[in-house]
Structure 1
Amino acid sequence: MSGKPLLPGTATLGVMGGGQLGRMFVQAAQSLGYRTVVLDPDAVSPAGAVAHEHIQADYLDEAGLARLAAQCDAITTEFENVPAAALERLAQQRFVAPAGAAVAVCQDRADEKAHFQASGVACAPYALLRSDADLAAVPASLLPGILKTARMGYDGKGQLRVRSAAELAQAWDELKRVPCVLEQMLPLALELSVLVVRNAAGQVVSFPVQQNLHRDGILAVTQVPAPAASAALQQQARESAARIAASLHYVGVLCIEFFVLQDGALVVNEMAPRPHNSGHYTMNACDVSQFEMQVRALAGLPLPTPRLHSPTVMLNLLGDLWFEPGSTAERSPDWAAVLALPGTHLHLYGKTSARRGRKMGHLNITAATAAEAEAVARQAAALLGLPADW
């Protein structure tokens, strides 16, 4: 952004996408006094329900994009699969952050890995599959591995584990032979993520490092401070994340996910050009949330270094909790019992119906010590019927 910042109470901020991340961005923007506009094709989108205006249109609809640009002073996105072309179209009239070019890198695993390497940050050994010749040339050292579609994969979708050349060929057929990345399966000790925030002037700050647990490819639990990561490892992760953001000329909130190997080495896994599930703890455990930082970066406001004021555990709440095991009848979890526990903060996303595997909300547990937060989180998990396997 060039020129003066967009001051609170004087501007309108737009967001492409109407999901829960857009909803929480809108709420953060409104708390600072901004008017908000959401563009999303869903008539009942979570973000559209709370924005000042909801433009119901496809992401590439010219009339919808023109309405959004006409009403907004700056525009962001809430998920990585908004067409980069739509962001570039909007950027012809308004400041857009992150830029379409940066989002495009995050939309393609091959481009993403090339960017990691260009940034000097190690990632898992990999090979690209675009042709039969690529398949034949895959080195045996990459097996066993994980075959991932180059585009449109998230939450474990579009990913298959393969142990042999025969399984690799079969898996690529199952994925319709679309361009894919084969990653060597590495001996993992734990998973970390870093939220980095960068503005148009090049200022970069980051949140405390998050330690994450995934179940079936979907984030289940985040702990902060990261209990199993040394201070040196956390500093390395934050410096690597900042380097990736800077070399991408990124503006906004960027989440970088890392693997820590059993030998202690740190390798980057993937990145998301937006706030992230693993950063939801910031809403209650930090003096500024990831969503307020997204607003600040977009509006050109100062970026203070976020501070963790309370150790925390975040539990991701999927639609499975709304159903008895083996039943299709919907029920409501016992929120009264959960909220009776000290330091619990419930965030539901306003979705009209639950589905198994659908992200419905999250629960943040804060306490004076990490041990206390963990103990209450385990109580909450038991009440909700969630495993306490972290």
Structure 2
Amino acid sequence: MDSHTVGVLGGGQLGRMLVEAAHRLNIKVAILDSENAPAKQINQIAAAAHITGSFANAEDVRHFAAKADVLTYEIEHVDTQVLEALDSESPFVEDSQSWRRIQPSWRTIRQIQDKFVQKQHFAENGIPTADSKGVGTTSPQGLKEIGLELGGLPIMLKARTQAYDGRGNYPIMNLSDIEPALRALADRPLYAERWASFKKELAVMVVKTKQEANVDTYEQITLPFPVTETIHTDSICKLTFTPPRGVPIKIQRQAQDLARKAVASFEGTGVFGVELFLLEDDSIIVNEIAPRPHNSGHYTIEACHMSQYEAHLRAILPGLADTIEPGATDLAVNAAVMLNILGGPEPNSHLLVAKAALKVPGAKIHLYGKGDGRPGRKMGHITIVGKSMSEVERKIHPLIITADSVRAHKHSERTSDEAIQATADELLKLNPAPPEKPLLAIVMGSDTDLATLRPGLELLDKMPIPYLVTITSAHRTPQHMLNFGKAAASRGFKAIVAAAGGAAHLPGMMASETTVPVIGCPVKASSMDGLDSLFAIVQMPRGIPVATVGIANSTNAILLAARIIGTSEPKVQEWLAAHLQQMDDENMAKAARLESEGWQTYKKLDQAMPLSFK
């Protein structure tokens, strides 16, 4: 696919997945890392170009660079001095006068390596991030004054370099935390950061396909992957949910745009992992950036049209960067969840999680070949994709329980697999799998409308559709009704049946606040026989559609909702097909009886007919 050899500085799990993506495209990848690094274990195509050494050692990097056409990174803790020298000596790929050998640029790596410099870079480029100040003194009094300048405690004290997975961070919640924080991070360059009170941690993988840095042209030089929600335990990413749960599409688009602008401010091409905070007021700030594929983007392997690893390889190669088209980074499924497999008390404790995943249909297991595990070490991950977030949450639940059980024993000595499994069994009893989230909402303005809905609800009970029935009035609880509509899509509803009588504003007002299809069911009131409700629902203004069934025909409302849901739910579609066949069979049976017995007898047998015949 491409004749250039890609040299990767680092051969851990990210390098391993880069190699897997490269193999599918016949791209040669050489690795600089230890002898049995995970990436080297599965890579024989360019084995002769591998170097056993350190990506932080200048001589090893120089020796390695002589064997590669393009240099990139699996980890940003590299020696940028030697990269700067290499760039000055031979800046461009051999057969190009403009495509640089080092992607992303060594300047980008140097800026990102120092997290305080990274924060200053964001501020200079108009990228919202938490306010921060360099800590030029190790005295408690100096840090107290800095805290006051940042708006008071709490603040976060951070190491500027060589920090990852929460290592190098120390929260200062009150004055008594200052001295322990300074002792914990002694002899390291530090900075203090304003406390970010966030309600969710988000991440966006961004692929940059042009070498220049220009925030103003971010839409032309970057493409975003979907927004993912990240869950951390002990400062290590535990889970990702894509798309993020309960985050409106509008905010997801804002997160993607912010991530793209942040990435566009740096030189060079490749995939960048952007960590974001969604604050309590729904504003978004950038936390930090990784100039490489990222743990939060593992889900892309199974869930997107193109994985972050393929995107990175294509973006850094001169002949492939322009082949990444809009849409290539989009989700190919409705929902995905990723669970990190972390080491436990024994060398193979983590394998309990992988073995449990073998029993979960659709679970994709990635083990990294790192050998013996240890507490907190990333040993692999599991991804599950599905038709809905509810489906993947239910499937991943027992695996989360097993992973939590491994973690609960991480400080135990000589803990057996049986003991960990016993903990998992007990936790699962206390915390069973969540029920399926409803796909269909049935709303009514008053409990008096329940009588109209009852026939449809009785039919719905026979369908494989989880549902919610509730009361929300356009007139008595208007704000609750509007909030329900706004949140309907993010809650996973695929259709809404709204029953209303009289002025019957409920279906229309609900439809004005949601992208979910709304089906109106007119209720027959004491006056006008429900015609007023029918006319009110069916005569919606252009641009706000509401499907409408006959007066009091909740059965048709439910069946129409089921057909909408069935377009993406095979089990529902199968039920509907069986239901249609049953009606066909029953009607043909009635015709046969009528023809053979005559209408006089048939009429007398009417009382004995099944309800479904009537």
TM-score above 0.5, yes or no? yes
Larger mean CA deviation between 347-356 and 51-60 belongs to 51-60
Q: Alpha carbon RMSD of aligned pairs, Å? A: 2.2
1:370 aligns with 2:370: no
Residue correspondence of structure 1 range 1-390 to structure 2 within 5 A: 8-40=1-33, 42-51=34-43, 52-53=46-47, 54-61=50-57, 63-91=59-87, 92-93=89-90, 95-131=101-137, 135=143, 137-140=145-148, 141-200=151-210, 203-300=221-318, 301=320, 302-305=323-326, 306-310=329-333, 311-320=335-344, 323=345, 328=346, 330-331=348-349, 332-333=351-352, 335-385=354-404
Query: Matches of 1:165 and 1:126 in 2, distance apart?
Result: 18
Against the structure 1 CA distance between its residues 89 and 349, is the aligned structure 2 distance closer, same or farther, given a 3 Å change threshold? farther
Q: After superposition, what is the alpha-carbon deviation per residue over 1:239-265, rounded to whole angstroms, capped at 9, x for unaligned?
A: 111111112124111111111111212
* 5+ long unaligned stretches in structure 1: 1-7
Larger mean CA deviation between 330-339 and 42-51 belongs to 330-339
Shift of 1:102: 0.2
Larger mean CA deviation between 106-115 and 372-381 belongs to 372-381
Check whether the contact 1:146–1:183 (CA below 8 A) recurs between aligned residues: yes
Query: Matches of 2:61 and 2:114 in 1, distance apart?
Result: 24
Query: Matches of 1:166 and 1:224 in 2, distance apart?
Result: 39
Check whether the contact 1:338–1:383 (CA below 8 A) recurs between aligned residues: no
Shift of 1:164: 3.2
How many pairs align?
Answer: 376
Larger mean CA deviation between 289-298 and 260-269 belongs to 260-269
Shift of 1:318: 0.5
Against the structure 1 CA distance between its residues 87 and 142, is the aligned structure 2 distance closer, same or farther, given a 3 Å change threshold? farther
Greater Rg over alpha carbons, structure: 2
Larger mean CA deviation between 363-372 and 274-283 belongs to 363-372
Q: After superposition, what is the alpha-carbon deviation per residue over 1:38-90, rounded to whole angstroms, capped at 9, x for unaligned?
A: 011x2221112223322012335455334322221111000111222233244
The residue matched to 2:246 in structure 1 has which SS?
coil
Check whether the contact 1:349–1:360 (CA below 8 A) recurs between aligned residues: yes
Check whether the contact 2:62–2:82 (CA below 8 A) recurs between aligned residues: no
Shift of 1:201: 5.1
Amino acid at match of 1:382: I
Check whether the contact 1:197–1:204 (CA below 8 A) recurs between aligned residues: yes
Larger mean CA deviation between 49-58 and 144-153 belongs to 49-58
Check whether the contact 1:65–1:90 (CA below 8 A) recurs between aligned residues: no
Shift of 1:377: 1.1
Query: Matches of 1:121 and 1:191 in 2, distance apart?
Result: 17
Check whether the contact 1:126–1:142 (CA below 8 A) recurs between aligned residues: no
The residue matched to 1:36 in structure 2 has which SS?
strand
Amino acid at match of 2:337: V
Q: After superposition, what is the alpha-carbon deviation per residue over 1:190-240, rounded to whole angstroms, capped at 9, x for unaligned?
A: 110111111235621010001110001000010001112221211111111
Against the structure 1 CA distance between its residues 135 and 353, is the aligned structure 2 distance closer, same or farther, given a 3 Å change threshold? same
Check whether the contact 2:342–2:403 (CA below 8 A) recurs between aligned residues: no
Q: After superposition, what is the alpha-carbon deviation per residue over 1:123-147, rounded to whole angstroms, capped at 9, x for unaligned?
A: 1222210225853641422411111
> Which protein is richer in strand relative to its size?
1
Query: Matches of 1:237 and 1:11 in 2, distance apart?
Result: 34
Check whether the contact 1:345–1:365 (CA below 8 A) recurs between aligned residues: yes
The residue matched to 2:165 in structure 1 has which SS?
coil
Larger mean CA deviation between 227-236 and 210-219 belongs to 227-236
Query: Matches of 2:61 and 2:174 in 1, distance apart?
Result: 47
Query: Matches of 2:347 and 2:229 in 1, distance apart?
Result: 34
Check whether the contact 2:130–2:285 (CA below 8 A) recurs between aligned residues: yes
Check whether the contact 2:210–2:222 (CA below 8 A) recurs between aligned residues: no
Check whether the contact 1:88–1:99 (CA below 8 A) recurs between aligned residues: no
Query: Matches of 1:134 and 1:244 in 2, distance apart?
Result: 31
Check whether the contact 2:122–2:129 (CA below 8 A) recurs between aligned residues: yes
* 5+ long unaligned stretches in structure 2: 94-100, 213-220, 406-426, 435-614
Against the structure 1 CA distance between its residues 360 and 329, is the aligned structure 2 distance closer, same or farther, given a 3 Å change threshold? closer
Q: After superposition, what is the alpha-carbon deviation per residue over 1:290-332, rounded to whole angstroms, capped at 9, x for unaligned?
A: 0000100111312233120121000011012xx4xxxx46443
Check whether the contact 2:107–2:267 (CA below 8 A) recurs between aligned residues: no
Query: Matches of 1:46 and 1:153 in 2, distance apart?
Result: 22
Query: Matches of 2:2 and 2:194 in 1, distance apart?
Result: 50
Check whether the contact 1:128–1:134 (CA below 8 A) recurs between aligned residues: no
Larger mean CA deviation between 374-383 and 235-244 belongs to 374-383
The residue matched to 1:138 in structure 2 has which SS?
helix
Check whether the contact 1:130–1:178 (CA below 8 A) recurs between aligned residues: no
Shift of 1:339: 2.0
Check whether the contact 2:211–2:268 (CA below 8 A) recurs between aligned residues: no
Q: Segments of 4+ in structure 1 off by > 6 A?
A: 387-390
Check whether the contact 1:142–1:182 (CA below 8 A) recurs between aligned residues: no
Check whether the contact 1:150–1:180 (CA below 8 A) recurs between aligned residues: yes
Shift of 1:383: 4.4
Query: Matches of 2:168 and 2:201 in 1, distance apart?
Result: 20
Against the structure 1 CA distance between its residues 281 and 315, is the aligned structure 2 distance closer, same or farther, given a 3 Å change threshold? same
Percent identical pairs in the alignment equals 33
Query: Matches of 2:347 and 2:74 in 1, distance apart?
Result: 31
The residue matched to 1:351 in structure 2 has which SS?
coil
